[in-house]
Chain A
């Protein structure tokens, strides 16, 4: 009897065994609770943060009035970094922005280095004058110390942002928070 085994057979065998080792599937109610947007879970906090985000725009008014040629990239985007014990006002510099096939690809860097930034943050996009966010997406820190976002956009935004260039004034502000942080 031959016991010759190929790598493919080994992997398939291991995969079948791994499937058999699976713990019970999580229930829908728990998953939906986990996936509930943070601004729905803590609406009052979200409103307060939006108000604060609006005030950053005033603080950065001078920088935003600079001619675009004078900067290495586009307008600074007012940003709030939300941590468990603190909220930091800052801005990010958008290095790349592309919308294609309904997907947003965005790279940005914090204007000032901030210690202990997590490798993944949830970036909540908020438009000026709106009390609800546009959407949120995970931003992952890259080897170049840039955060990168690659996500599907709501259809309307995909249309509206299709022509947006990195040197344009961004139609959003950002709230960055650790991926699974509580209130």
Chain B
């Protein structure tokens, strides 16, 4: 029979392979490695119960609880944590154990592994939703410029994510995925809305040509708009409304591209890959979006007697 040390070494080796496979997006392989590691670790837990120091037993239990979470086995992880809590020395390591017990401190990978299982772990899902809800809602509000529609869109995005939760990748960029789902849903509704309308595809295609101009991606505005750091909440509310209206005035594609560039931080080349267009074309769209934003934002400033945008 293998000793505890050998079992844990095997578990650690498989865990490393699992982490590498997960990072590479090979989830089936990753799952196999992590489950193999967990099997060795569980054997080590059994052996540590039969004899050995309490310190070693605690370490083995902790490593096994972590592996359980890698596999999305939340119930098993909690059982191991409870088992450890009865052992002398547990209190000395309570911060580390507290992290294992509290889903809000888990990395995305553990939360996703717990959510993609059947049945999904509700506490892990709550933690995952809480972690990204505000960011998701913020993006949805910028897309829809409407509080209730933004709430519906954000919930709809979660609904879609959960419908396909078995395919979630614990090693992937979850917040980016969530934003993409919401943006795609919004684009689908926009696509339908413009069927045969004034925003029909053939009219949008005029935007495909790169817009050449002197403007860079960032246009500097001066004077006309309130200070972003103003303490006047009314002034800030008005500015938010102006920005929403300016965004609303953009054609859906331009709005999406502008937000992808400046909020998500995607490059023109990355956006181009999504749309199947060249980097140059996307740069043209961004310039056009900035130009239109500027025009929209100039109006309230001029009405208020403010200076012009430069």
Which A residues contact B (CB, under 8 angstroms)?
2-23, 25-29, 31-32, 34-35, 37, 102, 119-120, 136, 138, 140-143, 151-152, 154-155
Cβ of B212 < 8 Å from any Cβ of A?
no
CA distance A151 to B133 in the complex (A): 23
Cα separation A6 to B221 with both chains bound (whole Å): 6
Can you give 5 contacting A-B residue pairs, CB < 8 Å? A7-B221, A20-B134, A28-B129, A32-B122, A138-B160
Given contacts A5-B221, A11-B259, A19-B134, contact A143 B196 (CB under 8 A): yes
CB nearest neighbor in B for A151: B164
9 pairs of A and B residues whose beta carbons are closest in the complex: A35-B162, A25-B133, A19-B138, A28-B125, A22-B137, A18-B138, A18-B141, A119-B192, A19-B134
Question: A112 → chain B, closest Cβ, in Å?
Answer: 20
Shortest beta-carbon distance, A10 to chain B, in Å? 6
- Residue B294, interface by CB 8 Å: yes
Instruction: Say if the beta carbon of B17 comes within 8 Å of chain A.
Output: no
Q: How far is the CA of A28 from the CA of B244 in the complex (A)?
A: 30
Contact across chains for A22 and B138 when beta carbons are under 8 A apart: yes
Nearest chain A CB to B260 CB, angstrom units? 11
Partner of B120, one of A17, A32, A37, A143: A32
Q: Is B218 an interface residue (CB 8 A)?
A: yes
Q: B-side binding surface: helix, strand, loop or mixed?
A: helix
From A34, which residue of chain B is reached at the shortest CB distance? Answer: B159
Complex contacts, B240 vs chain A, CB 8 Å: 14, 17
Q: Which residues of A lie under 8 Å from residue B151 when comparing CB positions?
A: 23
- Name A35's closest neighbour in chain B (CB-CB): B162
Residues of A within 8 A of B166 (CB): 154
Q: A3-B227, A8-B262, A14-B240 are in contact. Are A31 and B125 (CB under 8 A)?
A: yes
B residues less than 8 Å from A141 (CB atoms)? 192, 195
B129–A25 contact, CB under 8 A? yes
Closest to A138 in B: B160
Partner pick for B125 among A7, A8, A32, CB 8 A cutoff: A32
Contact status B219-A6, CB under 8 Å: yes
Chain B nearest CB, measured from A89 CB (Å): 26
CB of B228 closer than 8 Å to a CB of A:
yes
CB atoms of B191 and A140 under 8 A apart: yes
In the complex, what residue of chain B is closest to A24 when comparing beta carbons? B133
- Whether the pair A140, B192 counts as a contact (CB closer than 8 A) is yes
| 0/1 interface trace, chain B 229-247, chain A, CB 8 Å (1 if under) | 0000000100010011000
Q: Report B255-287 residues with CB < 8 Å from chain A CB.
A: 258-259, 262-263
When the two chains form the complex, which single residue of B120, B150, B219, B222 contacts A7, counting CB atoms closer than 8 Å?
Answer: B219
B68: shortest Cβ distance to chain A, in Å?
20
Asked if A27 meets B126 with Cβ closer than 8 Å, knowing A7-B293, A14-B244, A16-B138, the reply is yes
Further 17 A-B residue pairs, CB within 8 A, beyond A25-B134, A34-B162, A140-B191: A2-B222, A3-B225, A5-B220, A5-B225, A18-B138, A19-B138, A22-B133, A22-B134, A22-B137, A25-B133, A27-B129, A31-B155, A31-B159, A35-B159, A35-B163, A140-B192, A151-B164
